[in-house]
Amino acid sequence: MAFIGAASFHDAHFLRQLWTSVEFAGFPRRHHGQLSFCASNAVGDAVMLYAAVLGPAWDRVLGTKGATP
């Protein structure tokens, strides 16, 4: 869930650290242009995908760019 928090609040440094950890400990497998992690499951995959497409929540909270509901 740290992925979602870091992505939501645009903490790029922490998010980069999390991805580095996953790249090291998740046993990544690249096959036919696709990436999967051997030490993952459906919930973990869904969380990482959601974090990858999630926008900064602080923009909405503060009413700055991208604040349209």
Convert the pLDDT of each residue in 1-49 to its tens digit.
898 888 888 898 998 999 899 989 999 899 998 888 899 888 988 888 8
CA distances, 15 to each of 18, 30, 31, 41, 50 (Å): 5, 21, 24, 20, 13
Q: How far apart are CA 44 and CA 66, in angstroms?
A: 27
- pLDDT above 60 (res 67): no
Structure tokens, 49: 């995908």
Q: How far apart are CA 57 and CA 50, in angstroms?
A: 13
Amino acid of residue 46 = A
